[in-house]
């Protein structure tokens, strides 16, 4: 019986040692395959071009300037809001840019200067331009896409990206 106990003990040690090695090997394979998948996976980022939209001298407080970004089929606005806001650029941190295509079903939005909102005539969604395009009413399911803006030393305003998907664009399909 004594030799039998030793055999059982040796077998248990061998089993535990093998199981540990197999677990480590499986973890290593898992890490490697995850890294390989990440290398092969298509990018989920949409890259938008850098584009000059206007100059600070073109803007008057609370009067939207019509622009197009990232191309001629994508209407939007630049607005100098008159007070520092989320995503605002310029000396006063108050210049913002948004698409004017409603993210719900693509109706053209109207700017209401009295409360600095973009409003949709389709199903009445409303977006707060002082809060980064936050939706404050209606049926849309996302905030209003806001441009990432930069101003150079001459006062030229460049868009370099958008923080949400623009409605109805083929590039949204991954
Ligand atoms: Fe704007 Fe429906 S299209 S709320």
ipTM of the complex: 0.99
Residue 80 φ/ψ, nearest 5 degrees: -95, 110
**Which pLDDT value is given to residue 166?**
95
Task: Give the distance (Å) from ligand 1 centre to CA of residue 121.
Answer: 7
The whole-model pTM stands at 0.76
The average pLDDT across 38-42 equals 54
Select which of 76, 89, 97, 104 is catalytic.
104
The residue with tokens 């600095």 is 116
123 included as an active-site residue:
yes
Residue ranges around ligand 1 (CB below 6 Å): 102, 104-105, 107, 120, 122-123, 125, 138-140
Residue 92 pLDDT grade (very low, low, confident, very high; cuts 50, 70, 90): very high
Going by C-alpha positions, the residue among 142, 170, 160 that lies closest to residue 97 is 160
Residue 47 pLDDT grade (very low, low, confident, very high; cuts 50, 70, 90): confident
Residue 29 pLDDT grade (very low, low, confident, very high; cuts 50, 70, 90): very low
Residue 170 pLDDT grade (very low, low, confident, very high; cuts 50, 70, 90): confident
Stretch (H or E) spanning 11: helix 2-40
**Per-residue CA distances from 98 to 88, 108, 126, 168 (Å):** 11, 12, 13, 16
- How much is the mean pLDDT over the chain? 85
Residue 80 pLDDT grade (very low, low, confident, very high; cuts 50, 70, 90): very high
**Which pLDDT value is given to residue 46?**
82
Using CA positions, which residue lies closest to atom 3 of ligand 1?
A: 105
CA torsion 35→39→41→43, rounded to 10°?
120
Distance CA 76, CA 28 (A): 49
């Amino acid at each position: 019986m004594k030799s039998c106990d030793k055999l059982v003990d040796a077998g248990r040690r061998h089993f535990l040692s093998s199981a540990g090695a197999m677990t480590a090997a499986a973890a290593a394979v898992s890490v490697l395959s995850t890294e390989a998948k990440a290398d092969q996976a298509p990018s989920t980022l949409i890259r938008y071009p850098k584009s000059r939209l206007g100059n600070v001298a073109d803007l008057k407080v609370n009067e939207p300037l019509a622009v197009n970004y990232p191309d001629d089929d994508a209407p939007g606005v630049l607005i100098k809001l008159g007070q520092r806001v989320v995503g605002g650029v310029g000396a006063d941190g108050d210049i913002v840019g948004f698409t004017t295509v409603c993210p719900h079903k693509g109706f053209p939005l109207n700017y209401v200067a009295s409360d600095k909102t973009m409003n949709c005539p389709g199903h009445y969604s409303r977006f707060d331009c002082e809060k980064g395009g936050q939706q404050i009413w209606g049926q849309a399911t996302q905030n209003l896409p806001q441009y990432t803006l930069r101003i150079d030393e001459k006062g030229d305003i460049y868009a370099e990206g958008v923080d949400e998907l623009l409605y109805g664009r083929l590039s949204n399909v991954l």
